[in-house]
Amino acid sequence: MAEMKFPDGIMAKKPHVNAPDFVKAKVSIKRDDLITWLKMQPDEWINLDLKESQKGGYYFSVDDWKPTSANNAPVQNEIPPPEEDDNLPF
C-alpha cells in the first residue's frame, strides 16, 4: 500500500450539533497553504477522500489511484453491424 498523503491547508470538521441533517461536514481552507500545496502537485486533477478517524474526527487524504493498462482499455460503444440473413423478404 502506498504512503498516505494529506493536503495542506484544507480540513474538515463534523457539523455543529444544531446544523440541519443535510449538512454533512464543515470544511475550512487556509488559502495560501492550499495554493502552495496545489502548485506542488504534478497532476491536473487532485482527488481527495473525506475520511473519519478512529477518534471520530474528519480528515482529507489524497486518492492517487491510477488505472492500470488493463483497466484503461477503451470502451467499445460501437454497435456491431447486423449479421447478413439471406432469408430476408426484401
Tell me which amino acid residue 89 is. P
Q: What is the mean pLDDT of residues 17-26?
A: 96
Q: Which residue intervals of 1-90 are DSSP H helices? A: 31-39
Domain ranges in the chain? 10-63
| Rounded Cα distance, 82 and 67, in Å | 33
Q: pLDDT tens digits, residue range 27-85?
A: 999 999 999 999 999 999 999 999 999 999 999 999 998 888 765 555 555 666 666 66
pTM of the entire predicted model? 0.67
